[in-house]
Chain A
Amino acid sequence: MTPTVVKLIDTSLCIGCKACEVACQEWNDQEFTIGTFGGTYQTMPDLAPNFWNLIKFNERETDGGLSWLMSKYQCMHCGDPGCLRACPAPGAIVQARNGIVDFVSDNCIGCGYCITGCPFDVPRLSPETKKVYKCTLCSDRVAVGLEPACIKSCPTNCLSFGERTEMLRVAEKRASVLKTDGYAEAGVYNPPGVGGTNVLYVLKDVADPVSYGLPKDPTIPWSVVLWKGPIKWLGTLLLAGGVLGSFFHYLKFGPKHEEADDDEPV
């Protein structure tokens, strides 16, 4: 069986050097578009169609000071991806057996449904190509046995990559080390609402992922569940019922009389 691959991000070890951002741009051969300066240390305020990996400097005020909660913002490679559920074009989003969720531009029609389906607000629609883009977890590198570019470039071991059960074990161990270091709330971010994610975080405060820019208890959006569940059911029933119903109605009752007897002169 193909093992599921995981990227582990130990946010406590991130020094904000942004080597991973550069490695991502380089490997994926993306031009860097100069954006707006948001008054922070971040490279960009947000992800972009040609910028898939953002180191966030989440600022948190402490008594008399400021601390940074570092986090790495990219596709989470969900176990149950909302983007995939929403996508109307077969083959535009694929979930590989190793867990990587990949966008296949050739099949993408640019409808943007995946943007709405994603609980992490990751896919970005390019106005030029009318296709969506996001982190591929370097599926092209992983396929030939290499680790993703960001992992390769990280100088502090904040990022590591490997087989899922092994990475979960490493993550738990890191969290317990943090706990003994005084971070009582340290833990692993692996939200079950989206079937777990193949990007795992070790957070100093796992009860408050929002401070890291991560949603608390993310799930596939309610309306996407409704849309791809009951509404689709109802629709199939109504459309098939309408066609079949008409057919059998005709068999049973047939047409109305074309004309009433025209006996009255005008």
Chain B
Amino acid sequence: MNRYSFAERTVHWLSALSFLYAAFTGLAMWSHKLYWLAAVFGGGNATRFAHPWAGILFALVLGVMFRSWAGQMRLDREDREWLLNSHRYAMNQEEGLPDAGRFNAGQKMLFWFQSLAALALLATGVVLWFPEWMPRTLRLIAIALHPLAAIGAIALIILHVYMGIAVVPGAFKAMVHGTVTQGWARAHHPKWLKEKRLP
């Protein structure tokens, strides 16, 4: 059965690629120990040049994603209950957790955090982009906030990628081909399956 439309998958993968590009080029400049990453992306100057553009692309794509998904990402009472018991989800003991809809509460939280991070990264990133034109106070704030937001976003993406590839078999396939089996839907998003079956 269909899970993600072609448009949804395009947006997802554009955001993933631009994020990874921005993250790796950013990390190169974050620590001398990771500066070798700059060589992978064509050297220090190329890294400095390309990073903000990758970041802008990421922010734009996330804007599109926000418009199409924000409505489905509202947290309801069941989601809150799910979050309070999320340690059980983490230990693969789903019995007793409220049934998840199209997105479970964890995915919804990821969505909101990444949207917030994109906004923060965009605002602080632009300040770092043109240091000559920016007031000193703004630069001082941006230089601390930009890596902070980036680290938070990257940590969440590590978790997200790990879950999508390793913890939930079938999820990666869903994001590539757009389809899942009914069994998969019943196991991971039962409420969504029920809604879909309604005429």
List chain A positions with a Cβ less than 8 A from chain B: 86, 88-90, 107, 109-113, 115-116, 121, 125, 127, 130, 221-224, 226-227, 231-232, 234-236, 238-239, 241-243, 246, 249-250, 253-262, 264, 266
* Of B44, B92, B144, B197, the contact of A89 (CB 8 Å cutoff): B44
Give the B interface residue count (CB, 8 A): 47
Q: Do B131 and A256 have beta carbons less than 8 Å apart?
A: no
Contacts of A246 in B (CB 8 A): 158-159, 162, 166
Contacts of A130 in B (CB 8 A): 45, 48
Q: Do B35 and A243 have beta carbons less than 8 Å apart?
A: no
Q: Do B136 and A242 have beta carbons less than 8 Å apart?
A: no
Q: Do A262 and B167 have beta carbons less than 8 Å apart?
A: no
A223 CA / B137 CA spacing, docked (Å): 10
Q: Do B158 and A258 have beta carbons less than 8 Å apart?
A: no
Q: Do B183 and A260 have beta carbons less than 8 Å apart?
A: yes
Contacts of A227 in B (CB 8 A): 143-144, 147
- Whether A242 contacts B159 in the complex (CB less than 8 A), given A88-B35, A259-B181, A259-B184, comes out as yes
4 closest A-B pairs (Cβ-Cβ)?
Answer: A259-B183, A112-B131, A109-B44, A242-B158
A101 CA / B60 CA spacing, docked (Å): 40
Q: Do A111 and B48 have beta carbons less than 8 Å apart?
A: yes
In the complex, what's the smallest C-beta–C-beta distance from B177 to chain A, in angstroms? Answer: 15
Closest to B151 in A: A235
**Could you list some 25 contacts between A and B, CB below 8 A?**
A88-B32, A89-B35, A109-B29, A109-B47, A110-B48, A116-B136, A121-B136, A223-B140, A223-B144, A227-B144, A231-B148, A231-B151, A232-B30, A236-B31, A238-B155, A243-B158, A249-B90, A249-B167, A250-B162, A254-B92, A255-B166, A258-B170, A258-B183, A262-B181, A262-B186
A239 CA / B141 CA spacing, docked (Å): 22
Q: Do B48 and A239 have beta carbons less than 8 Å apart?
A: no
- Whether A90 contacts B35 in the complex (CB less than 8 A), given A239-B155, A243-B158, A246-B159, comes out as yes
Closest to A241 in B: B155
Q: Do B47 and A239 have beta carbons less than 8 Å apart?
A: no
Q: Write the B12-51 contact mask toward A (1 if CB under 8 angstroms, else 0).
A: 0000000000000000111110010010000011011000
A253 CA / B48 CA spacing, docked (Å): 41
- Whether A112 contacts B45 in the complex (CB less than 8 A), given A231-B148, A234-B151, comes out as no
- Among B35, B91, B140, B168, which residue has the most Cβ atoms of chain A within 10 A? B140
Contacts of A235 in B (CB 8 A): 30, 147-148, 151
List chain B positions with a Cβ less than 8 A from chain A: 28-32, 35, 38, 44-45, 47-48, 90-92, 94, 128, 131-132, 136, 139-141, 143-144, 147-148, 151-152, 154-155, 158-159, 162, 166-170, 181-184, 186-188, 190, 197
In the complex, what's the smallest C-beta–C-beta distance from A34 to chain B, in angstroms? Answer: 20
Contacts of B32 in A (CB 8 A): 88, 90
Q: Do A256 and B144 have beta carbons less than 8 Å apart?
A: no
Q: Do A125 and B143 have beta carbons less than 8 Å apart?
A: no
- Whether A250 contacts B167 in the complex (CB less than 8 A), given A111-B48, A235-B147, A257-B187, comes out as yes
Contacts of B139 in A (CB 8 A): 115-116
A sample of 20 more A-B contacts (CB under 8 A), given A88-B32, A109-B48, A223-B141, is A88-B35, A107-B44, A109-B44, A111-B131, A115-B132, A127-B132, A231-B151, A234-B151, A236-B31, A239-B154, A242-B155, A242-B159, A249-B162, A249-B167, A256-B92, A256-B169, A258-B183, A259-B186, A259-B187, A260-B190
Q: Do A239 and B132 have beta carbons less than 8 Å apart?
A: no
Closest to B150 in A: A235
Q: Do A262 and B182 have beta carbons less than 8 Å apart?
A: yes
Contacts of B147 in A (CB 8 A): 227, 231-232, 235
In the complex, what's the smallest C-beta–C-beta distance from B100 to chain A, in angstroms? Answer: 12
Q: Do B143 and A116 have beta carbons less than 8 Å apart?
A: yes
In the complex, what's the smallest C-beta–C-beta distance from B132 to chain A, in angstroms? Answer: 6
Closest to B184 in A: A259
Contacts of B91 in A (CB 8 A): 253
In the complex, what's the smallest C-beta–C-beta distance from A266 to chain B, in angstroms? Answer: 7
